[in-house]
Amino acid sequence: QQQVKQSPQSLIVQKGGISIINCAYENTAFDYFPWYQQFPGKGPALLIAIRPDVSEKKEGRFTISFNKSAKQFSLHIMDSQPGDSATYFCAASIGSGSARQLTFGSGTQLTVLP
Amino acid sequence: DAGITQSPRYKITETGRQVTLMCHQTWSHSYMFWYRQDLGHGLRLIYYSAAADITDKGEVPDGYVVSRSKTENFPLTLESATRSQTSVYFCASSHYGVNEKLFFGSGTQLSVL
């Protein structure tokens, strides 16, 4: 019930292409869906986030698409660049007040070829 | 420098030894978190704290102890290290909890031999 399933595990894209990473969840009580980006040797950093009352959110080349009925959300990276090569984690949060917790997907290692 | 810092960066220890990982933040964030990162599992929450002297268990708390006597510090102790605790440990902080940006440290890579 608390799981967030992420796919693919790894992804190789040519420069200029579109990278798509998918996540699925079961628990409809999840109500906040962030994506974190992690470069080697660094901690994750928030990239973009969405709430379930919105079907899409775009920030620059990064877009989250959210399908509430399918319980799925995805990250699209347009015009992918070698500098986007990193590990991407989707996540979902649930709970109230100080007990709210974030559940992460297993991560996708993205490689953008020059 | 302001931010969140973890120490040590790398640690090798033996099974059965006690190990403490340190985390310090300079923003006076209320919330602090400890996650472990393992291949195939993403990041899993070990413990979190909503304020000084308030801590609570996460998904994988067994074998770990935390304390938070000061807002800025949140040490994680492995009381008797086991090989299964070999992992990369990340500390994070935020002002209002997980529904806003979490600021992560650079991690501690721990190997238990």
What pLDDT, in 10s, does the model give residues B91-113?
999 998 888 899 999 999 999 99
State the Cα angle at B75 between B107 and A90, rounded to 5°. 40
**Among B33, B53, B41, which residue's Cα sits nearest to residue B100?**
B33
Closest CA to A55 of A40, A41, A70, A44: A70
**Residue of A4, A25, A104 best to disrupt the B interface, most CBs of B under 10 A:** A104
Beta strands in B31-80, from DSSP E residues, in sequence order: 31-38, 42-51, 54-57, 64-66, 76-78
Average pLDDT over residues B29-48: 94
User: Does the structure show a pLDDT above 70 at B84?
Assistant: yes
Least CA distance to A35: which residue of chain B?
A: B101
Average of per-residue pLDDT across A90-100: 86
The two three-digit tokens of residue A53, written as one number: 């009352």
For a pLDDT cut of 70, what percent of chain B falls above it? 98
Report the pLDDT value the prediction gives residue A94, as an integer from 0 to 100: 87
Residue B1 has pLDDT above 60, yes or no: no
Distance from CA of B88 to the nearest CA of A (A): 10
Integer Cα distance of A58 and B89 in angstroms: 31
Task: Please tell me the predicted confidence (pLDDT) of residue A26.
Answer: 93
Distance CA A87, CA A102 (A): 18
pLDDT class of A2 with cuts at 50, 70, 90: low
Residue B40 pLDDT: 83
Q: What pLDDT score does A91 carry?
A: 96
Q: Which of A35, A51, A53, A98 to mutate to test the interface with B (most CBs of B within 10 A)?
A: A98
